[in-house]
Amino acid sequence: MDRFYSLAHSSIDFHFKQTPRDFVVEEIPLYEFSGEGEHLILFVRKKGLSTSEMIGQFARYLGIKNRDIGYAGLKDKHAMTKQYISIHKQHEEALENFNLENIKIISKTYHNNKLKIGHLKGNRFYIKLKKVNPTSAAKIDEALKKIGQDGMPNFFGYQRFGNDGDNHILGEKLAKGEARERNPRVRTLLVNAYQSHLFNLWLSRRLEINSLVSSFEASEIETLLNMPNNEVKKMKAQKHPFKLMDGDVMEHYPYGKLFEFTSDENDLLRFNEHDISVTGLLCGKKVKTSSGLAGEIEKNFNDDINEDGARRFAWVYPTEVEGRFNPIEAQYEMNFTLPKGCYATVLIEEIAKRKIN
C-alpha cells in the first residue's frame, strides 16, 4: 500500500539496512522478576536468528519441546536483540556449558510463572542510519523532536505481511472461507495480516484527512470530504496532529478501558497530554466499533469475518527519544523506546517519508 505519512517535511535521503550492527533491540519486561520460583528466567542476546529459531536451538540443546520455553515477544531476525525467556529450573545445570553460535546468556534470575506472549512493557531500540549529510541530519533532528513531542502513527510494519508483502491476500480468503490452511498457527498469522492491512489502510486515510483539515479552509473541506462544516471546525481547532472525530474509540494510554470520544474538552486535553489515545479497528467479531462521523469512515475498512476482532492504538508515544549525528562517518544514531506491538521500522519510515525495505 502507498502509506500516508504524518510529518510535513519532504522525504529524507539516507541508507538503512536491518543488520545486527545497525539495528539493536532490548526488551523491557512488564514487571520485576521475583528472584525465586520454579522458572529460570534467562536474559539472552541473539543475532541473525528469529525468536522461534532461537527457541528451537535451546529446545534441541536441552532435549525438550519448543512449547516448554516461554517468551514475551517475537524479535527481529535481522538484528541484535536482547530478550527474556523462561525455562523450568530443572534444566539450569544443563545450561552451565551452553555455548551456541549467535546466542549468549547474559544473566539469569527466577520467577514463579512461565513467560507468556505479551508479558513485556516495550522495547528499547538503537538504530544507525548511513550516508547522512548535514542537511538531512538537521531534518532528522527536527523529525525526532516532533515525534518525541507529539507521537506517531502506529502502523503495522512491513514485517507483518511476509517476505513478499502479500500475506494479507491469502489471509482475506482464509477469513472468508474461500481457502483453507491446515496449520492453525499459519492460518492465524495470515488472517492477522489481513486485519492489519485494513487497519493500515484506515490509518492512512485518517492521516490524509488530518492533512487536508490542516491545509484547507473549513468550507473547502466540507466540499472535498463531504463532512459537516461544524465537525471540520472542531477538528481544525484541535492542537494535536491527529484530529479526533465524534465517535472515535479512545483508550487510556498505555492501557486501560475503551470509551467513545464526544468532543469533550477534558478528553482533548488528556489526548494532548498523552493520557489517552485513539484506537483503530482490527475487524472481526466481539469488538467495539466507532460511531458517528468516525464510524462512517471506519466502516469502509471493516469486514464481516468470522474471527475475533480487537482495537489497536492508532497513535503512540515513543519515549527517551535521542539522536546524534556523526559528520565524519556520515552516520546518524538514534535511540528510542516503543510500547509493545509497535514497529521501529515504522518510525524510521515516518522520518524518511518513504518505504525503507
Domains of the chain are 7-19+125-151+321-357 (3.30.70), 31-118 (3.30.2350.20), 152-316 (3.30.2340.10)
Phi and psi angles of residue 326, each rounded to the nearest 5 degrees, phi first: -110, 95
Catalytic residue, candidates 2, 13, 22, 76: 76
Mean pLDDT of 2-29: 93
pLDDT of residue 20: 93
pLDDT surpasses 80 at 25: yes
Mean pLDDT of 189-203: 96
Mean pLDDT of 195-213: 95
- Give percent of the chain above pLDDT 90: 80
105 alpha-carbon distance from chain centroid: 27
What DSSP character marks residue 308?
A: B
- Checking 253-258 for CB contacts under 8 A at 24+ apart, the result is 253/277, 253/313, 253/317, 254/313, 254/339, 258/288, 258/311
Instruction: Kindly report the average pLDDT of the chain as a whole number.
Output: 93
Q: Which residue in the block uniquely carries the three cell numbers 466481539?
A: 286
pLDDT of residue 85: 96
pLDDT of residue 163: 78
pLDDT surpasses 80 at 357: no
pLDDT of residue 1: 58
pLDDT surpasses 80 at 200: yes
pLDDT of residue 219: 84
pLDDT surpasses 90 at 270: yes
pLDDT surpasses 90 at 267: yes
Mean pLDDT of 301-317: 94
- Nearest in space to 113 (alpha carbons), one of 34, 29, 30, 27: 34
pLDDT surpasses 80 at 2: no
pLDDT of residue 251: 97
Taken in order 52, 56, 62, 65, is the CA torsion positive or negative? Answer: positive
pLDDT tens for 77-107 read 989 999 999 999 999 999 998 888 899 999 9
pLDDT tens for 110-129 read 999 999 998 899 999 999 99
Phi and psi angles of residue 70, each rounded to the nearest 5 degrees, phi first: -95, 150
Rg (CA), the chain: 22
Contact (CB, 8 A) for 152 and 350: yes
- Nearest in space to 346 (alpha carbons), one of 162, 206, 160: 160
pLDDT tens for 219-266 read 888 788 888 888 889 999 999 999 999 999 999 998 889 999 999 999
Mean pLDDT of 9-38: 93
pLDDT tens for 314-356 read 999 999 999 999 999 999 999 999 999 999 999 999 999 999 8
Mean pLDDT of 178-196: 91
The verdict on whether 22 is a catalytic residue reads no
